[in-house]
Amino acid sequence: STMHRPYGLMHKIVSSANQFGTPIFKWCLWEAIEKCTDRICSRCPLWADCRGRAKRACGYLKIDDCITAMRRASRAGWEAEMLCKRPSLEDVVFAEFDPAIHIKQIDYDPNLPLYRAFDFGFVNPFVCLWIQVDGEGLVRVIDEYIRSRATIDVHAEEIKNRTPGDESRVATTFCDPAGAGINDVTGTSVVRELRSLGIVARYRRSSILEGIELIRRAIKAGDGKSRLLISPSCERLIEAMRCYHYPENSTGSSAELPLKDGLYDHPIDALRYFFVNYKRSSKAVSRRY
């Protein structure tokens, strides 16, 4: 089957193949096209992609049908559906995200300020991102912690153990505003619990669209420059950056917001909280409990 999109059933199957030792055989149009015998390559509409490969083919797809399909499709659709170069990014939120540009081995730099960003969850995962920003404004995501079905004290201990140095090295911890809400059972909030455990978290309320736009600007600004790097160790965040998407066939206001699928939205939410707080930290009201 064709992996039409960087998310969904085929994405899950392909992503899990290595875990189970399942071989993956990749093929596309050039493995299925019929042999070309009498066409002049330089005059053929397929030449830019074919480069003579059809002369050595032995498939069943008619060349004329392939030409018709190419002319009916967009370039992105043609590359996704027939050439199988990459999945279509039509519904992907961060279409400009490019692993070749935005993923790089980066380590903690003691000379740069260290930030953390939390997205709270229990059944849905709790997310912590460790982030640094250099003097040029380059945002460097150096590590991630993502875990479900653990209490806040367990998360706090793991986060403090994984934070380079001690808590004094952390410039600010930003979090989900929902964490300030009082729990009817415990009578306290996640933010208060964290403070009692030695982690002070701050937040600023914002819209989803505001945070998404700030992430997009870091991925590729209007001047064409990228100001975002992610360590390859942040596997879940990288997957989310590639797969976070809008609902299919949605209309109206629901089409403006990405799908909350419980899988890709949580790492992105944590990254959003960093950007909306960091960019306006001088204006935001800090709430401490």
pLDDT at 3: 65
Instruction: Give the residues across from 131 on adjacent strands.
Output: 115, 141
| Cα separations in angstroms, 240 against 204, 237, 260, 261 | 23, 5, 12, 11
Mean pLDDT computed over 148-152: 95
169-201 pLDDT, tens digit each: 999 999 999 989 888 667 789 999 999 999 999
Mean pLDDT computed over 7-30: 79
Mean pLDDT computed over 24-32: 88
Mean pLDDT computed over 210-237: 96
Of 60-64, 177-181, 250-254, 258-262, give the lowest mean pLDDT range. 250-254
pTM, entire model: 0.76
pLDDT band at residue 288 under the 50/70/90 scheme: very low
Instruction: Calculate what percentage of the chain has a pLDDT beyond 90.
Output: 69
- Backbone dihedral region for residue 137 (phi beyond 0: left; psi -120 to 50: alpha; all else: beta): left
Give the residue among 152, 158, 200, 150 at the shortest CA–CA distance from 175.
200
Instruction: Give the residues across from 114 on adjacent strands.
Output: 132, 170
Helix/strand/coil for 141: strand
pLDDT band at residue 277 under the 50/70/90 scheme: very high
pLDDT band at residue 243 under the 50/70/90 scheme: very high
Task: Assign domain 99-279 to its CATH architecture.
Answer: 2-Layer Sandwich (3.30)
pLDDT at 256: 81
21 or 155, higher pLDDT: 155
pLDDT at 6: 67
pLDDT at 16 > cutoff 90: no
Question: Would you list the domain boundaries of the chain?
Answer: 9-81, 99-279
Give the residue among 101, 96, 89, 118 at the shortest CA–CA distance from 202.
118
pLDDT band at residue 137 under the 50/70/90 scheme: very high
pLDDT at 98: 94
CB neighbours of residue 275 within 10 Å: 24
Asked if residue 289 lies in contact with residue 148, where contact means CB atoms within 8 angstroms, the answer is: no
Distance CA 269, CA 274 (A): 9
95-107 pLDDT, tens digit each: 899 999 999 999 9
Give the residue among 133, 135, 162, 131 at the shortest CA–CA distance from 231.
131
pLDDT at 258 > cutoff 70: yes
Asked if residue 156 lies in contact with residue 198, where contact means CB atoms within 8 angstroms, the answer is: yes
Average pLDDT of every residue of the chain: 89
52-79 pLDDT, tens digit each: 999 999 999 999 999 999 999 888 788 8
pLDDT at 117: 98
pLDDT at 286: 41
